[in-house]
């Protein structure tokens, strides 16, 4: 991701826009973000499947506190209470 940001910075500083090169870098960045998001969602679902209800509630409380901090990424620490529970609907 750092390399792609550096590449985009370099492209932005050129006198002429190389739209093709920018498109390639942005497409690669989009794919990287997609893969990171999917990995985070997989991990959340896998954790929810093995934790006890008390552990899930505890993790959800921690995630909620983290989300309330300024600058927190929307998916980072996604509350576990929003994730499907094994054998049932999400707890609200």
pLDDT at 12: 94
What is the rounded average pLDDT for all residues in the chain?
82
Domain coverage including residue 54: 2-82
Do 8 and 23 touch, CB atoms closer than 8 A? no
CA distances from 53 to 4, 5, 39, 49, 88 (A): 41, 41, 23, 10, 12
The per-residue pLDDT for range 25-53, each reduced to its tens digit, is 999 999 999 999 999 999 988 988 999 99
Residue whose pair of structure tokens reads 């370099």 in the numeric block: 10
Domain assignment present for residue 87? The answer is: no
Confirm whether 61 is domain-assigned: yes
- Any domain includes 14: yes
Per-residue pLDDT at 19: 96
Look at residue 6 and tell me if it is in a domain.
yes
* Number of domains present in the structure of the chain: 1
């Amino acid at each position: 991701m750092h390399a792609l940001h550096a590449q985009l910075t370099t492209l932005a500083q050129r006198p002429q826009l190389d739209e093709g090169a920018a498109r390639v870098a942005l497409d690669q960045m989009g794919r990287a973000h997609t893969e990171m998001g999917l990995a985070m969602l997989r991990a959340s679902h896998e954790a929810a499947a093995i934790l006890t209800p008390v552990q899930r509630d505890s993790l959800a409380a921690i995630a909620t506190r983290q989300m309330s901090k300024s600058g927190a990424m929307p998916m980072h620490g996604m509350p576990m209470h929003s994730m499907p529970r094994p054998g049932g609907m999400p707890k609200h």
